[in-house]
Structure 1
Amino acid sequence: MKSHSSTLLAEVRSFRQNHPDVRYVDLIALDIPGHFYGKRYPVEMLEKVAAGGPLKLPQNAVLLGAQGGLFKIGDYCFNDGDPDANRRLVPGTLKPVSWESQPMGQMLITSDGTEAPIEFEPREVLAKVLERLQHKGIHPVVAFELEFYLFDKKLDNGLPQFARDPLSDDADDQPNLHIERLSRFSEVLDDMAQTAKAQGIDITVITAEIGPGQFEINFGHCDDGLRAADWAALFCRSTRGVALKHGYRASFMAKPYLQFPGSGMHVHVSLYDAAGNNLLAAHQQQALRHAVAGCLELLPHCMPIFSPNHNAFRRLGGAVNAATRASWGFEDRDACVRIPESDPRNLRIEHRLASADANPYLVLAAILVGLEHGLEAKREPIAPLNEDRSSGTDFPVEMLDAVRAMQQQPLLRDKLGAEFVDVYCENKRQDHLAFQQEIHAREYRWFL
């Protein structure tokens, strides 16, 4: 512990030396809906925390709904006295923030690795899954891909407006994959890329996607699953901040336009043993088939994670690469689980179902549990789409059905933690019911 504190203290002191104008640092963590919460610390107080001083935040901050409200979930929130819970600093994540009006810093915090981790904290859920896999000799390598839209900074009566083309000042309202869009929006995209790199995020390819103002950023393959999910979470935060600085609004909303493609979170995962052998390539790729079967078997029970809100379910079944059934295929973007062409060393799955606004820690945890289950159950998957275009199994396409399917799945309760599953499902159920409490103008047009 002393060595750990000395490392953190050295990190904080080095940061202060390199950024003497920074007075405050945001200590942040991701809650269940995928929003950051935390506290803003004077940088000199951060040194005390790094040296081993206490760092406590309300335990129930993790339970906040999509709009920041608290729901009664078991005894949490209203019958537990709203207790504090210990957090710790995540080493290597203290970085400068360039999108605020004044120089600042930010650093991730977590309850995993403390004396009493919060069982339903997303990062802790993933940490437990990774620890279990490590004990089994399974070492994931992970790469996220995130799609997002750029909108005009100003909304029109609450509705998004197309991003303005900086060269012509016209609305970028034409869906295309043209490379010229990268040039036209290069100033904001370059700033997003450089800012992400300053956060320690290994970003690689930038693509102009099909939707108007839609882009995709790929991250490098990482042999630390927690760090890979950290990158995805931090990228969303920095990208939104940089967009506002340039007069845009960046959104990872799953389906902002009904007539255009939604935004997804694609996750590439390969599995290796301690000697560096690709486990999925074993026995002439039979292990790959088993892993796929496990993913597909659990996928219908993980839908509240992959589609975490009402809008995310709208993305399913879209015109472009958004499946409505659990399916797989080789080099097939219509499949939920795609097997990209690669050599045996880099053989991997690409899980394509999650929406861009899903919680990256939980998405990765659910995928890994599916792979783990498949390798152990050793079942054959259904036919790939390459052999049968109608192949696939149904999954829930409405939140309340999805929540019931998740909460009643014994293997998920065991592998992700029963307490987490119950808390998460009730959070999603309450969020969905709260969303339904507002009467839309369309209801008056139809039924008044």
Structure 2
Amino acid sequence: MKSHPASLLAEVRTFRQNHPDVRYVDLIALDIPGHFYGKRYPIEMLEKVAAGSPLKLPQNAVLLGAQGGLFKIGDYCFNDGDPDANRRLVPGTLKPVSWESQPLGQMLITSDGTEAPIEFEPREVLAKVLERLHHKGIHPVVAFELEFYLFDKKLDNGLPQFARDPLSDDADDQPNLHIERLSRFSEVLDDMAHTAKDQGIDITVITAEIGPGQFEINFGHLDDGLRAADWAALFCRSTRGVALKHGYRASFMAKPYLQYPGSGMHVHVSLYDGAGNNLLAAHQQQPLRHAVAGCLELLPHCMPIFSPNHNAFRRLGGTVNAATRASWGFEDRDACVRIPESDPRNLRIEHRLASADANPYLVLAAILVGLEHGLEAKREPIAPLNEDRSSGTDFPLDMLDAVRTMQHQAVLRDKLGAEFVDVYCENKRQDHLAFQQEINAREYRWFL
């Protein structure tokens, strides 16, 4: 909901008192591909916005492609006069930026909670889903986990190089999950964690993952789904900045190496009623089974959200813990939907399919819609992998097939919004076609 101007003004003035050297603040929001766009405001102008002055940015900035270009999507972009749309400041997100060479601040902005929210803005899509669930007495608790790779700062003919071990100056060769890797890269990892906490993000567990230079960061559980997605988005931005400061590149690219595991976005979700009772645990966990069935039913139709680009589809199958079929299981990391062992109070699903570079607002919205649909339809799920290792239903494994599967799905059009679904699918279709408009060296090598 929209914050009172007095509280926003107090937030800005407190920030100025604590950071008198900051002259500019980046006002940022996530577009459809999951990149930040926005404007850099003088701190004095930010005070005026906090006090109630209009904050407007082009509506179509949300529609940018992966490379920043605009596509013709219906009447948007080229037949609508490129109108401005109101944004508002997100309370509690004004924080210092410590990875830039000059003192700087940043603050999230959004169209949700304004008089005319942008229907296809990712944060607005999630806000509408959460509002509907709250009206039904359903209160999600959410935690994200993000995997990423560290690379050497310099590319080799455009290709990534392994992160250099600070102790030996050799490529990272530590065994998977080896605690020694955390020690050897502790300087940059500690800075990433400290910087994230400065952004208000609750960092918990840090793990050295299977790939060379690959790590996973877990966040604390939140009863505010918007804030949980904010954390995931802001963490990606700060982590890339901190890595560059230390002479590395950090990337959430889904599959940077064919021979090593990809990077995923795992999302833990519990559902509670107004009294704090875990809805999934009631009636011998029957609602859990219904919720799983809903997730699996809609999963094939949400693939453009979970795998938002050509590279993300490379992550599926062929490596550890990356499924190629919609499946579920108890304590089974090969499943798309895993049920971690827990007591009834903390019973939850862990959705493991999304790639690390997916848009966290849309990933969470899609998962919640699946859970909501399952609770309403009350169907039984397919057999879990614990009972049948071949259990699962197929889902699209390329973008054009995926957008065809998503665009006309009635539940998604109803619960995510038909306008959003149409805009999103066309954005992904155009992005994919633009990506194909280049002949690479292998194509000449094979067919010239």
Shorter-chain TM band: over 0.9
How far is 1:139 from its partner? 0.1
Return 59-68 or 166-175, whichever deviates more. Answer: 166-175
Whether the aligned pair in 2 keeps the contact of 1:26 and 1:106 (CA below 8 Å) is yes
Deviation per CA, 1:213-243: give whole Å up to 9, x if none.
Answer: 0000000000000000000000000000000
Distance 2:28 2:320 in 1: 35
Deviation per CA, 1:263-319: give whole Å up to 9, x if none.
Answer: 000000000000000000011100000000000000000000000000000000032
How far is 1:203 from its partner? 0.8
Deviation per CA, 1:372-400: give whole Å up to 9, x if none.
Answer: 00000000000000000000000000000
- Over the aligned positions, Cα root-mean-square deviation in angstroms equals 0.9
**In the superposition, relative to structure 1, how do residues 2 and 251 fare at CA in structure 2: closer, same or farther (>3 Å)?**
closer
Distance 2:83 2:56 in 1: 10
Distance 2:197 2:384 in 1: 38
Q: Secondary structure at the match of 1:302?
A: helix
Distance 1:206 1:172 in 2: 17
Q: Secondary structure at the match of 1:397?
A: coil
Distance 2:240 2:371 in 1: 32
> What residue number does 1:35 align with?
35
**In the superposition, relative to structure 1, how do residues 137 and 89 fare at CA in structure 2: closer, same or farther (>3 Å)?**
same
Whether the aligned pair in 1 keeps the contact of 2:412 and 2:421 (CA below 8 Å) is yes
Q: Secondary structure at the match of 1:13?
A: helix
Whether the aligned pair in 2 keeps the contact of 1:152 and 1:247 (CA below 8 Å) is yes
**In the superposition, relative to structure 1, how do residues 235 and 387 fare at CA in structure 2: closer, same or farther (>3 Å)?**
same
Structure 1 segment 10-409 matched on structure 2, within 5 A: 10-409=10-409
Distance 2:2 2:245 in 1: 41
Whether the aligned pair in 1 keeps the contact of 2:174 and 2:181 (CA below 8 Å) is no
How far is 1:187 from its partner? 0.1
Q: Number of aligned pairs?
A: 448
Q: Secondary structure at the match of 2:3?
A: helix
- 1:445 and 2:445 are equivalent in the alignment: yes
Moved over 2 A (4+): none
Distance 2:416 2:194 in 1: 35
Q: TM-score, normalised by structure 2?
A: 0.99
Distance 1:127 1:51 in 2: 24
Distance 1:40 1:384 in 2: 50
Q: Secondary structure at the match of 1:28?
A: strand
Whether the aligned pair in 2 keeps the contact of 1:267 and 1:352 (CA below 8 Å) is yes
Whether the aligned pair in 2 keeps the contact of 1:254 and 1:263 (CA below 8 Å) is yes
Distance 1:395 1:216 in 2: 26
Distance 1:29 1:341 in 2: 36
Whether the aligned pair in 1 keeps the contact of 2:87 and 2:110 (CA below 8 Å) is yes
Deviation per CA, 1:313-340: give whole Å up to 9, x if none.
Answer: 0000032100000000000000000000
Deviation per CA, 1:115-149: give whole Å up to 9, x if none.
Answer: 00000000000000000000000000000000000
Whether the aligned pair in 1 keeps the contact of 2:2 and 2:114 (CA below 8 Å) is no
Whether the aligned pair in 2 keeps the contact of 1:22 and 1:105 (CA below 8 Å) is yes
Distance 2:427 2:99 in 1: 31
Distance 1:121 1:201 in 2: 23
Distance 1:45 1:400 in 2: 44
How far is 1:173 from its partner? 4.1
How far is 1:174 from its partner? 5.0
Whether the aligned pair in 1 keeps the contact of 2:335 and 2:352 (CA below 8 Å) is yes
Distance 1:220 1:284 in 2: 27
Distance 2:103 2:72 in 1: 38
Distance 1:236 1:88 in 2: 22
Return 1-10 or 388-397, whichever deviates more. Answer: 1-10
Whether the aligned pair in 1 keeps the contact of 2:27 and 2:106 (CA below 8 Å) is yes
How far is 1:177 from its partner? 1.2
Unaligned runs of 5+ in 1: none
Whether the aligned pair in 2 keeps the contact of 1:162 and 1:173 (CA below 8 Å) is no
How far is 1:259 from its partner? 0.1
How far is 1:175 from its partner? 5.0
Whether the aligned pair in 1 keeps the contact of 2:140 and 2:223 (CA below 8 Å) is yes
Distance 1:155 1:141 in 2: 40
Whether the aligned pair in 2 keeps the contact of 1:262 and 1:318 (CA below 8 Å) is no
Deviation per CA, 1:425-446: give whole Å up to 9, x if none.
Answer: 0000000000000001000110
Deviation per CA, 1:66-100: give whole Å up to 9, x if none.
Answer: 00000000000000000000000000000000000
Distance 1:391 1:175 in 2: 32
Return 166-175 or 396-405, whichever deviates more. Answer: 166-175
Deviation per CA, 1:236-257: give whole Å up to 9, x if none.
Answer: 0000000000000000000000
**In the superposition, relative to structure 1, how do residues 19 and 395 fare at CA in structure 2: closer, same or farther (>3 Å)?**
same
How far is 1:3 from its partner? 7.1
Whether the aligned pair in 1 keeps the contact of 2:182 and 2:189 (CA below 8 Å) is yes
Identical aligned residues as a percent: 95
How far is 1:176 from its partner? 1.6
Q: Secondary structure at the match of 1:65?
A: coil
Q: Secondary structure at the match of 1:301?
A: helix
Whether the aligned pair in 1 keeps the contact of 2:174 and 2:180 (CA below 8 Å) is no
Q: Secondary structure at the match of 2:4?
A: helix
Distance 1:75 1:212 in 2: 46
Deviation per CA, 1:401-423: give whole Å up to 9, x if none.
Answer: 00000001011000000000000
Whether the aligned pair in 2 keeps the contact of 1:174 and 1:211 (CA below 8 Å) is no
**In the superposition, relative to structure 1, how do residues 19 and 419 fare at CA in structure 2: closer, same or farther (>3 Å)?**
same
Deviation per CA, 1:339-365: give whole Å up to 9, x if none.
Answer: 000000000000000000000000000
